[in-house]
């Protein structure tokens, strides 16, 4: 049997709410209206002030920019006058000073642009470079092949046929060591670094030689070394040719490439 009382259907009236101290009853809004009105007005004024402030600031910034633009235009006009007319001697001084300033500004802008372009192209400051160790797997051609698993390659690509392709133009330090373990029957032992620009024939960058006594029973080695800085183009291909790959000691044969600057 349920013992709960359903108050909805109970015939008892709800008990009267006891009067709270300090509360005089009557409509609550009536006594606060002046205060509410005052606060609303203050808030409205604050909003107007903030809004007005923003408008003033925007206006001020745009006039400042206009003035700067006007200054640039007048400096350009002065430069143009310097170029067009035959200026008097004190004008020449002024003109050269103006020119000097312009050169400084242009240089700053172009280096900044270059840095930004480099960052955007490369996505980071990682420097394009390659450190190649030669591939034990010889192949038939006299172009050196490089191990793809043991070489370090950053932003330079390497093909299976031993060709490096430059992705970012600039000045590169190139270093190459090729070690030979046997003399050739007819030709001197040599290594040649070749470069091929897109749509051109290969051309020689560096060539070096070394010699070994022929018909020697004592094992002997000689190393050809090359180091130089070259400006390389995007898409330029580099490879190393030797007299005869069968005479090369692969263990002491390396190639390095490091991008120095634009």
Ligand X SMILES: *[C@@H]1O[C@H](CO)[C@@H](O)[C@H](O)[C@H]1NC(C)=O
What is the contact surface with ligand X in residues (CB under 6 A)? 141-143, 194, 202, 241
Compute the least distance from the CB of residue 95 to ligand X, in Å.
52
Closer residue to ligand X in complex, CB, 14/199: 199
3-state SS assignment for residue 172: strand
Compute the least distance from the CB of residue 231 to ligand X, in Å.
20
Compute the least distance from the CB of residue 165 to ligand X, in Å.
16
Compute the least distance from the CB of residue 191 to ligand X, in Å.
11
**β-pair type (152-154, 170-180):** unpaired
H or E segment and range at residue 158: strand 156-158
Backbone region of residue 60 per phi and psi (left: phi > 0; alpha: psi in -120 to 50; beta: other values): alpha
Q: How far is CA 179 from CA 46, 131, 217, in A?
A: 83, 16, 18
* Nearby residues of 240 by Cβ (< 8 Å), 6 or more positions away: 143, 144, 162, 176, 178, 191, 192, 193, 194, 255
**CB-neighbour burial class of residue 134 (10 A; exposed 0-12, middle 13-18, buried 19+):** buried
Closer residue to ligand X in complex, CB, 128/226: 226
Here the tokens at position 68 are 């700067």
3-state SS assignment for residue 59: helix
Closer residue to ligand X in complex, CB, 128/162: 162
Q: How would DSSP label each residue in 191-217? A: EEEEEE-TTS--EEEEEEEE---TT-S
Backbone angles phi, psi at 130, to 5 degrees: -150, 135
Closer residue to ligand X in complex, CB, 128/195: 195
Compute the least distance from the CB of residue 147 to ligand X, in Å.
18
Closer residue to ligand X in complex, CB, 143/223: 143
Closer residue to ligand X in complex, CB, 143/181: 143
Closer residue to ligand X in complex, CB, 143/249: 143
Question: Are 238 and 170 in contact, with CB atoms under 8 Å apart?
Answer: no
Compute the least distance from the CB of residue 194 to ligand X, in Å.
5
Compute the least distance from the CB of residue 109 to ligand X, in Å.
42
């Amino acid at each position: 049997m349920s013992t709960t009382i359903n108050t909805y259907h109970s015939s008892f009236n709800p008990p009267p709410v006891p009067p709270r101290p300090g509360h005089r009853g009557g409509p609550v809004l009536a006594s606060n209206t002046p205060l509410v009105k005052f606060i609303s007005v203050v808030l409205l004024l604050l909003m107007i002030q903030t809004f007005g402030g923003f408008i003033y600031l925007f206006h001020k910034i745009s006039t400042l920019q206009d003035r700067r633009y006007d200054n640039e235009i007048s400096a350009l006009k002065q430069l143009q006058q310097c170029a067009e007319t035959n200026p008097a001697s004190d004008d020449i001084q002024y003109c050269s000073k103006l020119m000097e300033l312009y050169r400084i500004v242009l240089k700053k802008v172009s280096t900044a642009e270059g840095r930004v372009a480099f960052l955007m192209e490369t996505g980071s400051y990682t420097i394009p470079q390659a450190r190649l160790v030669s591939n034990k797997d010889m192949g038939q051609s006299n172009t050196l092949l490089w191990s793809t698993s043991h070489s370090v390659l950053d932003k330079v690509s390497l093909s299976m046929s031993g060709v490096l392709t430059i992705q970012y133009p600039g000045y590169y330090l190139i270093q190459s060591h090729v070690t030979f373990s046997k003399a050739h029957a007819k030709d001197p032992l040599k290594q040649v670094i070749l470069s091929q620009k897109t749509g051109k024939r290969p051309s020689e960058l560096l060539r070096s030689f070394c010699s070994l006594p022929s018909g020697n029973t004592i094992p002997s080695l000689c190393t050809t070394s090359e180091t130089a800085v070259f400006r390389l183009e995007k898409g330029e291909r580099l490879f190393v040719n030797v007299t005869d790959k069968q005479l090369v000691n692969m263990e002491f044969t390396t190639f390095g490439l490091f991008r120095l600057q634009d």
